[in-house]
Structure 1
Amino acid sequence: MPRRTGRRRMTGAALAAGLIVGLAPFSTAAAANTVTVYYRPPTAWTGTVNIHYAPDGGAWTAVPGVAMEAACTGWRKRTIDAGSATGLQVVFNNNAGTWDNNNGANYRTGTGTVTVSGGVVGTSDPCAGTPSPTATPAPTGTPSTRTAEVWYHLATRGWTGGNIHYQPAGGAWTAVPGVPMEAGCTGWARRVVDLGSAATLKAAFNNGAGAWDNNNGADYTIGAGVSTVKAGVVTAGASAPCAPQTPDTTAPSTPTGLGATANGLRVAVSWAAATDDRAVTGYRLTRTGGPEGTVTVTTTGTSHVDGTLTANTRYEYTVRAYDAAGNTSAASAPAAATTGDTPPPAAAGTPLGGDPREDTIYFVMTARFADGDSTNNRGGSQHVKSGNAANDDPMFRGDFKGLIDKLDYIKGLGFSALWITPVVLNRSDYDFHGYHGWDFYRVDPRLESPGASYQDLINAAHGKGIKIFQDVVYNHSSRWGAKGLFTPTVYGVRDEQWKWMYSTPEAGREYDPMIEHPGTDPELTPAQNALAKGRPYNGDVWSTAAPAGNQCPRWGTPNGTSPEGFKLYECQWPTPTSKLFPADLYHQCWIGNWEGEDARSCWLHEDLADFNTENPTVQKYLIDAYNRYIDMGVDGFRIDTAVHIPRVTWNRRFLPAIQQHALARHGEKGKDFYVFGEVAAFVNDKWNRGSVNHSAQFFTWKERKEYSPDDVKAAIEQYDYEQLAGPAGQPTSDNAFLRGNTYHAPDHSKFSGMNVIDMRMHMNFGDAHNAYGNGKDSDDSYNDATYNVVYVDSHDYGPNKSNTRYTGGTDAWAENMSLMWTFRGIPTLYYGSEIEFQKGAKIDCGPTCPLATTGRAYYGGHLQGTVTATDFGRVGSATGAVATTLDKPLVKHVQRLNRIRRAVPALQKGQYSTEGISGSMAYKRRFTSGAVDSFALVTVSGSATFTGVPNGRYVDAVTGDVQTVGNGTLTATVSGQGNMRVYVLDLPGNPAPGKIGEAGPYLR
């Protein structure tokens, strides 16, 4: 690895003693080879630069060496006769007592052309193609051009190398991505820039793989001389960070602001960062109390979560800081916390188990589906402003009781799996969707009722044979942090402008969204009561005085006014750059490039505080939280924003934790725990604009090489390795494809454990034919595309990233469904699509418009009445509005599709092929396992001829038509958009099921 550069002042005598003594005399030989040494001196060395050298086995030159001549800008050179030697030892000095001797190790070169720059020895000619100046004596005055020596701290972003893209004032920018920086000591890179006549330059930095640091869009302004750029701060006139330093004997400052907060049997501890004359390396946190005795842990961050501890026990903590030299501070003032009661035993439930491909999925936003208990309805602070109040439509309206009451509706449609939005306690102004998690260990009370807890829903669904797939979030918390991990404290003031916003703090009181401000406070004006109405208690997250350990600069300093004319203050709102979050637990930047590395390590949105998922404390917090829901018996997880966490982190930490806990808790049924991720590649490409790290299929694979044991470094290494490999360098699979007419055992040895939503089909479902073609084109790049979740639209987007619910028409919907229910993958339907609910409506507009006008409108009005399902896809009785709903044409269509799919294993789990088939959407599918052998020929919305198929008796599941094939050819005649034929081969022990259901508006 590159050596660190060192520059220190030494006397001639010291040099003689340290470098020359003990070397054999040099005997002169005929010139056999030469060494041309190019040296880039520090910008402060403006006069003569000497090279002091010794050929291998020879004597050193006399101190201070010989002068080097000027080369191209920023470089000096000297050609040396090495005689018969194969290399040199060299050091350099400025002719005034300052030396660069590679930290006392000297530089060692071979023969030929050699460069020495920033402590690194290279072999290229830095002046190639650049006219050399006329040979003159080494300069003794100021150079004719001004330079900037720029040092960039790569380690801040976890980069291993970097480029500087710059523009001297009044000049032109370098071509993107800029010019490479030279490696310095660990974590640093250096580049000397010729400013010409300019006084400053603008600069941005990147890692050569798409990740940029452009100072949040403002670029960095850097002047002449030595400057460092570290953690977004430019330090002008700095010392070169890689220069040698005197021995470090100074201990860091004593940490302050230590605080400890108990949450059940866990204690969250945090403190203010200590300071050091060099740098703080880490902290030693010591805990006393309880039967565990004294325990000390080390961490590089300023927070720690301790658990699981003994109930009702007082624990005391102190923390010390230490540096790289081992100097340790005094212990901080102690902080103590007392744990709570022993929690009740983990909720017990058992998943249904079974291959998830046998299911079809109905997706609901729980708070918008069915209201079974109006007492838990809550409108929040935006109830009036959004227009929801005028419609008597609180954002939290649907609940678990409503879902339990309407499970027969879902089963009557034929669905055997229910995907529900996140259930954890949320905290934001508009959080009915569930993606602003605050307490990941608690179910949101706005969804539960007596007798209708989350466990009750799971049990009730399982009682009807319906699985629960829970939406989960590992990428981020709410902007108010995550209870039990870290919650920020912001600036607030209860003055005449802001007292409506900030609750009076009460010791021990916590956020509870069930208790909303009534809007009738006599201390507030009518206007202020209107603003306060619906807000829950927030006295736990604000303070006028800066809290102990505050890192947010300019705390409470006025910084403008709001649109309403209220005075705004610094540190009033949590953001990634506010320093209100500790860097070890949360990332500190905004995403700048959605196909760059920063898409995995920065914030998506101001309401989504981005976890540092490479931190072990964060990992444990999330793993422990989600294990609780596995214990409850949920059947799988849909993972939100999966693309924003590095794949190597999924493969190392989270996916194994899910699989291991499900297996340990539920045995064989745990093996079937289904995980599918949202990898939001909203493009029509096979690979997301060529970026493999941001493509859905990429996440279905294990890692192909070993990376650093440090998760932060591994994430960068994996990103760089896979981006360099590109789409052409990715693995492929035939797990989804038949070999001729034969099913083969799939190879899942390289499967990551995460399946994915089929984003490419979703994006192309403006037309079923287009979705089908794009799906086929991508299938070799998934580990096994038969496990893909396939849908037309969702709570986020419609096809082609449309912001409205699908509006292609009833016939197009029928065709889309016929394709999804018979092609590979797991069909999924967003609530209400079975009646084209809210077609053409904007899917989401936040609190700027009423929910009733959006794709997230309340569906319960269509479900009023009673319904009883006798089987999947069969309704025994229905009354009221739900009876009308169940009579809609797409409802009839999806009921029959579900019944056909459940009867034909090839449609559920089969591999497919289009070999020997004519027809625009036609394919053959087969599944073979044990005694099961299912073979089917499918064509959708048009006729098709199948050649080279097995001979035998085929029966169409749609019409009951029978064809006996003796020459390997079958022709299926179909007319009408959305109509289809499913000819199933009679096989020994696996008879064709015959006609399933009755003719309807599309299947006939």
Structure 2
Amino acid sequence: MKKLAAKLWAVLMLMLVSMQTMATDTFTSNRTDFRDESIYFMMTTRFYDGDTGNNVLCWDNQSAQIETKDPCWRGDFQGVIDKLDYIKALGFTAIWITPVVQNASGYDYHGYHAMDFQHVDCRYQSSDGSKDGDAMFQELIDKAHAKGIKIILDVVLNHTGNFGEQTLCKEFDRDTDLATQALIDACMIPNEEKLGSDYLTSVAYEQYQRRLALMKNIRGKNQDVHNYWHHFGDFNWDYPNRWWAQIAGDCVDLNTENDYVADYLVKCYGSFIKMGVDGFRIDTSGHISRLTFCKQFIPQFTALGEKYKDKRLNQAPFFMYGEVCARYSDVTYRGQENLSCYYYTWQAPQDLLDKWDGSQSYWDTQVLFDKANGGTGVDDHQMALCESDNAPTPTSDNTFMVNGKWHEPDYSQASGFHVIDFPLHYNFGNAAAAYGLAKSGDKKYNDATYNVVYVDSHDYGPQQTNDQFRFSGDDAQWAENLSLMFTFRGIPCLYYGSEVGFRRGAPIDRGPHGPLSETGRAYFGGYLTGDVNASDFGDYKATGNVAATLNHDVAQHLIRLNKIRQAVPALRKGQWTDEGCTPADGGIAFKRAYKNDSYALVAINGGATFTDCPDGTYTDVVTGKK
């Protein structure tokens, strides 16, 4: 295995860095630019079980959970705390964790089906009762910060689950005793006045329709009188109506154009900013209009971030990036700019923002029904206003070196919001395809160096075979992709287990059909048993299974890449160009520069010839040769 690792390293990556004016980099103690980070993404409940006493079965598919001895709610905050040194040993500086708010659905271990935005899910509490979920989450934040690791919280602004929401439409009281959580009728106590005295004896479909009607006006009665949810029934990925349509039965679309709803969400998630989370990954951002983000969420979260900056590691600016899902081969989604990832990185037109009326007094005048009940589900003002935000975006050279040099970027039209690079992700079957797309598309983003880049995730893999499966490439393909991810523009992000090819090629998600162990969301904890102590990022001692995991060829490759990226500012936040770069056949070559402090030449999959480089002493960071 070590011979394979050495071969991968020598063939897949050669990098030369100019040290001409670069002072000692204070990376570990002064990370205030989020591009300095590399992100480890985990589903908390599937990562590591630190407290076996708070394991809980999901309500659906319980036979498979019992048969495999694998409760869906298995990993926990204690498990993340216990393995912080594992994350640090790999060299990652930030952890993105799935949503933590109280959930309610048949299969909600992932956290995307909220029923109470104000509290951390009770299934994360300590089993001895000494700490509730909020206290456990605060402990995780504090202990991560103590190790120099940042916490990115996944948040959902677009929807609730279908069991109502405790402030916007309370349909149930929740018994938060751990002993009741696996039994829906024991922990979910229905409001009979709203749901009917026969709710518990009704069939499941009828129960669902009653719950949904209170939020969606689907039975011809105006029950959501304040329009806290959207009532639009049609949905199409390829049209702006995805901004106000329900995307799934457990994702009831919130009316984020309503000031009351937006302010409530900001208040709830603002409490996590106050606790010290370092950034938000915002789920289903592509199902919210850019106008809504620029009017409602970006300015309010930015202000809260500034207010509570003392709570964050290094008092760094609060960072936000969104999931604008674009399963498509081009950077522009099916020819529609306003449905594309890059669109959200630009500020919306001020004249449209000035026309905004999200007041409750306005929304209280709207009586909206689903089409099945003779209505349109769409008001005549606010949604039309959002849809009118469709002007062509500007282009930018903020990502690129100009005339072979770094230049001061222009952020005068930036929205302050960044995105997961879905086009690159979708093309990451191999490094060449991803790199080729960036060459043609990076000018569309305000600054693509802030894009969060991954190969696969909890939802999709690249399109090279089938995007419903985790990346199926072998170690050499993983090494090639990671070599590009960690040296090219953008913030690298790794989905848990990919450091050892965990569940390579497995279906990512089958819902409540069969055991989780057969999917890309399987439990990873067996790979992490044993002890690990990290003295610094990438420097560690380990025993047991976790030592073998860290010794895997891909994990070792990651550790080296993280160390190199941390040592060279140009690789973290530099602009790039391929001018004056001639790679060998089949290879990739580019230059990167950051201010006057750091300059790098990168060649992947073979050698390269570089011309028009500044004078200076260049060090090969792989071999150490000057």
Please say whether Structure 1 and Structure 2 have the same fold, judged by a TM-score greater than 0.5. yes
TM-aligned CA distance change 1:361 to 1:601, over 3 Å: same
Could you tell me the percent identity over the aligned residues? 44
Gaps of 5+ in 2: 1-28, 359-378
TM-aligned CA distance change 1:571 to 1:785, over 3 Å: closer
Alignment of 1:911 with 2:556, yes or no, is: no
Equivalence for 2:280: 637
Equivalence for 1:574: 212
- The one-letter amino acid of 2:137's match is Y
1:185-232: per-residue Cα shift (whole Å, max 9, x none)?
xxxxxxxxxxxxxxxxxxxxxxxxxxxxxxxxxxxxxxxxxxxxxxxx
TM-aligned CA distance change 1:901 to 1:544, over 3 Å: closer
Equivalence for 1:540: 190
Equivalence for 2:366: none
Equivalence for 1:480: 163
TM-aligned CA distance change 1:513 to 1:643, over 3 Å: farther
1:9-64: per-residue Cα shift (whole Å, max 9, x none)?
xxxxxxxxxxxxxxxxxxxxxxxxxxxxxxxxxxxxxxxxxxxxxxxxxxxxxxxx
Alignment of 1:430 with 2:80, yes or no, is: no
TM-aligned CA distance change 1:805 to 1:719, over 3 Å: same
Aligned to 2:351, the other structure's residue is in SS state coil
> Is the contact between residue 348 and residue 389 of structure 2 (CA under 8 Å) also seen in structure 1?
no
- The one-letter amino acid of 1:463's match is A
Matches within 5 A, 1:31-42: none
Equivalence for 1:774: 437
Alignment of 1:947 with 2:611, yes or no, is: yes
2:300 corresponds, among 625, 643, 657, to 657
Equivalence for 1:415: 92
Matches within 5 A, 1:393-408: 393-408=70-85
1:446 corresponds, among 98, 114, 123, to 123
Q: CA RMSD in A?
A: 2.4
* Distance in 2, Cα, partners of 1:429 & 1:682: 27
* Distance in 2, Cα, partners of 1:544 & 1:432: 27
Matches within 5 A, 1:18-97: none
* Distance in 1, Cα, partners of 2:433 & 2:351: 39
Aligned to 1:388, the other structure's residue is in SS state helix
Equivalence for 2:228: 585
Equivalence for 2:344: 699
* Distance in 1, Cα, partners of 2:558 & 2:316: 29
Equivalence for 2:146: 463
Aligned to 2:241, the other structure's residue is in SS state helix
1:376 Cα offset (Å): 0.8
1:860 corresponds, among 525, 528, 531, to 525
Alignment of 1:354 with 2:57, yes or no, is: no
> Is the contact between residue 232 and residue 245 of structure 2 (CA under 8 Å) also seen in structure 1?
yes
- The one-letter amino acid of 1:690's match is G
Aligned to 1:730, the other structure's residue is in SS state coil
2:52 corresponds, among 371, 374, 396, to 374
1:775 Cα offset (Å): 1.8
* Distance in 1, Cα, partners of 2:407 & 2:147: 33
Equivalence for 2:43: 365
1:944 Cα offset (Å): 1.1
Alignment of 1:819 with 2:484, yes or no, is: yes
1:953 Cα offset (Å): 1.8
Equivalence for 1:710: 357
1:539 Cα offset (Å): 2.3
> Is the contact between residue 513 and residue 536 of structure 1 (CA under 8 Å) also seen in structure 2?
no
> Is the contact between residue 382 and residue 534 of structure 1 (CA under 8 Å) also seen in structure 2?
no
1:422 Cα offset (Å): 0.4
Equivalence for 1:677: 322
1:485 Cα offset (Å): 1.7
Equivalence for 2:621: 957
- The one-letter amino acid of 1:855's match is G
**How many correspondences in the alignment?**
556
1:836 corresponds, among 501, 512, 525, to 501
1:591 Cα offset (Å): 3.8
TM-aligned CA distance change 1:411 to 1:594, over 3 Å: same
> Is the contact between residue 346 and residue 446 of structure 2 (CA under 8 Å) also seen in structure 1?
yes
> Is the contact between residue 659 and residue 670 of structure 1 (CA under 8 Å) also seen in structure 2?
no
1:740 Cα offset (Å): 2.1
TM-aligned CA distance change 1:535 to 1:432, over 3 Å: farther
Matches within 5 A, 1:47-446: 354-385=32-63, 387-446=64-123
1:606 corresponds, among 246, 249, 258, to 249
1:663 Cα offset (Å): 0.6
> Is the contact between residue 470 and residue 508 of structure 2 (CA under 8 Å) also seen in structure 1?
yes
1:626 corresponds, among 269, 273, 277, to 269
1:464 Cα offset (Å): 0.5
Aligned to 2:442, the other structure's residue is in SS state helix
1:541 Cα offset (Å): 4.1
Alignment of 1:797 with 2:474, yes or no, is: no
- The one-letter amino acid of 1:807's match is S
Alignment of 1:883 with 2:533, yes or no, is: no
- The one-letter amino acid of 1:740's match is N
TM-aligned CA distance change 1:360 to 1:432, over 3 Å: same
Equivalence for 2:591: 924
TM-aligned CA distance change 1:816 to 1:567, over 3 Å: closer
TM-aligned CA distance change 1:428 to 1:642, over 3 Å: same
* Distance in 2, Cα, partners of 1:882 & 1:721: 50
* Distance in 1, Cα, partners of 2:625 & 2:237: 52
Aligned to 1:690, the other structure's residue is in SS state coil
Equivalence for 1:750: 413
1:516 Cα offset (Å): 2.4
- The one-letter amino acid of 2:145's match is H
Equivalence for 2:26: none
1:514 Cα offset (Å): 2.3
Equivalence for 1:505: none
1:781 Cα offset (Å): 0.7
TM-aligned CA distance change 1:483 to 1:892, over 3 Å: same
* Distance in 2, Cα, partners of 1:378 & 1:352: 40
TM-aligned CA distance change 1:543 to 1:854, over 3 Å: farther
- Between stretches 480-489 and 890-899, larger displacement belongs to 480-489
* Distance in 2, Cα, partners of 1:606 & 1:687: 28
> Is the contact between residue 352 and residue 462 of structure 1 (CA under 8 Å) also seen in structure 2?
no
1:951 Cα offset (Å): 2.4
Gaps of 5+ in 1: 1-350, 490-508, 519-532, 548-554, 963-1004
TM-aligned CA distance change 1:893 to 1:543, over 3 Å: same
- The one-letter amino acid of 1:574's match is L
Aligned to 2:388, the other structure's residue is in SS state helix
> Is the contact between residue 58 and residue 106 of structure 2 (CA under 8 Å) also seen in structure 1?
yes
* Distance in 1, Cα, partners of 2:248 & 2:280: 23
1:710-733: per-residue Cα shift (whole Å, max 9, x none)?
2473542342341xx4xxx32111
Which one has more relative contact order, counting CA pairs under 8 Å at least 6 apart? 2
TM-aligned CA distance change 1:888 to 1:353, over 3 Å: closer
1:375 Cα offset (Å): 1.0
- Between stretches 879-888 and 661-670, larger displacement belongs to 661-670
Equivalence for 2:536: 871
> Is the contact between residue 736 and residue 785 of structure 1 (CA under 8 Å) also seen in structure 2?
yes
TM-aligned CA distance change 1:714 to 1:737, over 3 Å: farther
* Distance in 2, Cα, partners of 1:718 & 1:598: 10
- The one-letter amino acid of 2:77's match is F
Higher strand fraction (1 or 2): 1
1:776 Cα offset (Å): 2.1
Equivalence for 1:154: none
1:693 Cα offset (Å): 1.8
> Is the contact between residue 427 and residue 438 of structure 1 (CA under 8 Å) also seen in structure 2?
yes
1:666 Cα offset (Å): 1.8
1:381 Cα offset (Å): 1.8
1:678 Cα offset (Å): 0.3
Higher helix fraction (1 or 2): 2
- The one-letter amino acid of 2:325's match is A
* Distance in 1, Cα, partners of 2:497 & 2:195: 50
